[in-house]
Structure 1
């Protein structure tokens, strides 16, 4: 009889790595469900990508409205906490239809009510922490979890020693392959030109988008610019950046390609073949760039908990494989000078990036799968 495995959390990339492995190698043993966010962020509203990814894999997806902890506007937490009973009720109605055997959480506020109700249903709970600095949600979920998996040894002090194991970070199979076929939307006539890949993550980054828009006339003189801008309500990001593209001289407009979302296999190709990457410094993004051995310019999220994004990219910066620009220092001239610095020091940065690539553990997906199977 198949066991019901519920996957939840705010980090989609490692979730997909585990899901795809389970579907490929253990489909006769498990039935998968996903409980996630309807919106990646609420102000402005941005639809999450979880529903689409689960639909493509024919996995039942259940959106819930979960309470979110605000560190900057603490007073808003008094309003948010009122959402928790409703969130728990939504999860309860899902579990009544298909009782959970194992819950795999990837942290984030959406996972907290799932784990609370999962405990009432006596499900085995595994939570995974990707960052070096444990998130607030995972620190709370740790009290409910039977097993805590961490990607980095630096995370161990945040959790109870007796139930915490180091697994590494689950990695999508597509990122371990060297895709040599460019995306179908990448013009063939541009393949011989050097390109840079810009991403603010699945949600996008307004400040990165605005800075790139200002720099476009300079950047396209040297590179093809591939920009994943993130989804936004009414496609605002995409529309604004397309307008900036049309302001370029006509002969240069084709050198800027902007898209809201890019599929995993295409991201793998872009990261591996880009001259360099301009990106946020989330744990999964840093891991993907490290795996590719590609130099990068990181712009850590300024309000990430305990400077976790800066700490994520510090090893690459310290080893000379990447540069870091704090968001408070991010202005067009600073970013442009960083791009020129990368090119002046490219051979050295590329060599350092290739060295770091060899050091990253690649068994995270296998290790997490073992935890799931042993909990069934």
Structure 2
């Protein structure tokens, strides 16, 4: 039986593509295991999946000074040893890495075991973990053509990002029913990713009255982000939406979100008009700014920078997006779609040991 170890974590964006791939792998009768951190979001997201989960020590790849940086090399070395030992026991045919700092010890451990590794990069520019891992990988799958400029050409294959079936098959009626909404007004979906976005959350709380004049609003605030204000007719807040997210996304006329690559790709694939508020450079490595800038230039995305974010600028940007919706829907049809899951599964099959 083919046996695959998947790894990746730190945010939902490092996990959801793996879930789509693991579903396809299990459907083929393959044995699937997951390597992640002991307390990361990946463990939470997979706890009810039935997938065997193995925790390894990780060292966070910080870009700023912290006393923890002194201990992270030791944690990383421990993680490599743990992954090496586990891989020797499980004897997988291949490791698939979706990136994030948890992937580094697993990829290095697999390389030491001479187990083939395939990685996937979602962003336009590769993250630090994937750059560290690239010498140890046999193939590197990328989402966007522009990423080829940053990675070894002989290893790169354009696959797009695996998208979960519940996103592709979202049912707008079910989404409205889940939210308790009707057809009287268009639906605006606002979310800041799996961990939320405090500045966007606070702003929506302030301007929701103005938004409700033209929209029904669903506001996903992120796990453990409890706000004191109460829901009102036409306004629903959720900490997180899991299985129903595809239906809610289908029901939404427009979306406001951060500019994470996986969410972006989902918007492109299903043709959903969107306003991006990318994480600023002070809070990230700049990947979301690069993602947003590229696709604004291509005409696929509306963008509002956080440094320009005010109550009035937000309301104006939402109104502009709604007015531009017919043009954007037509333009998004031009985005090149890949059969991502089939392409990546094909690469896995060709590189099994």
TM-score (norm 1): 0.84
Q: What is the alpha-carbon distance in structure 2 between the residues aligned to residue 223 and residue 370 of structure 1? A: 43
Q: Which residue, out of 165, 181, 186, partners 2:178? A: 186
**CA offset at residue 227 of structure 1?**
1.4
Unaligned runs of 5+ in 1: 41-47, 247-252
Q: Which residue of 2 aligns with 1:314?
A: 293
Q: Which residue of 1 aligns with 2:160?
A: 168
Unaligned runs of 5+ in 2: none
Q: Which residue, out of 272, 276, 285, partners 1:294? A: 272
Q: What is the alpha-carbon distance in structure 1 between the residues aligned to residue 121 and residue 298 of structure 2? A: 24
Q: Which residue, out of 2, 12, 16, partners 2:15? A: 12
Q: What is the alpha-carbon distance in structure 1 between the residues aligned to residue 21 and residue 136 of structure 2? A: 21
Q: What is the alpha-carbon distance in structure 2 between the residues aligned to residue 52 and residue 70 of structure 1? A: 23
Q: What is the alpha-carbon distance in structure 1 between the residues aligned to residue 21 and residue 221 of structure 2? A: 26
**CA offset at residue 338 of structure 1?**
1.2
**CA offset at residue 3 of structure 1?**
2.4
**CA offset at residue 371 of structure 1?**
0.9
Q: Does 1:244 align with 2:243?
A: no
Q: Does 1:360 align with 2:336?
A: yes
**CA offset at residue 168 of structure 1?**
2.1
Cα deviation code 1:298-356 (max 9, x no counterpart) = 1111137653212223354235443211122223222122122223xx2x433223322
Q: Which residue of 2 aligns with 1:276?
A: 254
**CA offset at residue 88 of structure 1?**
2.1
Q: Which residue of 2 aligns with 1:351?
A: 327
Q: Is the alpha carbon distance of 1:262 and 1:191 closer, same or farther for their aligned partners in structure 2, counting shifts above 3 Å?
A: farther
Q: Which residue, out of 338, 347, 350, partners 1:371? A: 347
**CA offset at residue 126 of structure 1?**
0.6
Q: Does 1:82 align with 2:60?
A: no
Task: Decide whether the 8 Å contact of 1:294 with 1:350 is kept in 2.
Answer: no
Does the residue aligned with 1:186 lie in a helix, a strand or coil?
helix
Q: Which residue, out of 155, 159, 163, partners 2:151? A: 159
**CA offset at residue 93 of structure 1?**
4.3
Q: What is the alpha-carbon distance in structure 2 between the residues aligned to residue 319 and residue 92 of structure 1? A: 44
Task: Decide whether the 8 Å contact of 1:132 with 1:152 is kept in 2.
Answer: yes
Q: What is the alpha-carbon distance in structure 1 between the residues aligned to residue 192 and residue 94 of structure 2? A: 32
Q: What is the alpha-carbon distance in structure 2 between the residues aligned to residue 125 and residue 339 of structure 1? A: 43
Q: What is the alpha-carbon distance in structure 1 between the residues aligned to residue 289 and residue 185 of structure 2? A: 31
Q: What is the alpha-carbon distance in structure 2 between the residues aligned to residue 53 and residue 78 of structure 1? A: 30
Q: Which residue, out of 204, 221, 237, partners 1:258? A: 237
Q: What is the alpha-carbon distance in structure 1 between the residues aligned to residue 90 and residue 81 of structure 2? A: 15
Cα deviation code 1:140-189 (max 9, x no counterpart) = 10111111222222112222222222222222222222524424862545
Q: Is the alpha carbon distance of 1:37 and 1:337 closer, same or farther for their aligned partners in structure 2, counting shifts above 3 Å?
A: farther
Q: Does 1:224 align with 2:203?
A: no
Does the residue aligned with 2:199 lie in a helix, a strand or coil?
helix
Cα deviation code 1:236-290 (max 9, x no counterpart) = x1x22xx2126xxxxxx132211122125x3222223312111001111011112
Q: Does 1:267 align with 2:245?
A: yes
Does the residue aligned with 1:196 lie in a helix, a strand or coil?
strand
Cα deviation code 1:53-84 (max 9, x no counterpart) = 43433111123341111124366533322321
Q: Which residue, out of 9, 21, 26, partners 1:23? A: 26
Q: What is the alpha-carbon distance in structure 2 between the residues aligned to residue 90 and residue 184 of structure 1? A: 46
**CA offset at residue 222 of structure 1?**
2.6
Q: Which stretches of structure 1, 4 residues or longer, exceed 6 Å deviation after superposition?
A: none
Does the residue aligned with 1:94 lie in a helix, a strand or coil?
helix
Q: What is the alpha-carbon distance in structure 2 between the residues aligned to residue 367 and residue 99 of structure 1? A: 24
Task: Decide whether the 8 Å contact of 2:181 with 2:216 is kept in 1.
Answer: no
Deviates more, 1:3-12 or 1:332-341: 332-341
Does the residue aligned with 1:33 lie in a helix, a strand or coil?
strand
For the aligned residue pairs, the C-alpha RMSD in angstroms reads 2.3
TM-score (norm 2): 0.89
Q: Is the alpha carbon distance of 1:300 and 1:73 closer, same or farther for their aligned partners in structure 2, counting shifts above 3 Å?
A: farther
Q: What is the alpha-carbon distance in structure 2 between the residues aligned to residue 75 and residue 158 of structure 1? A: 31
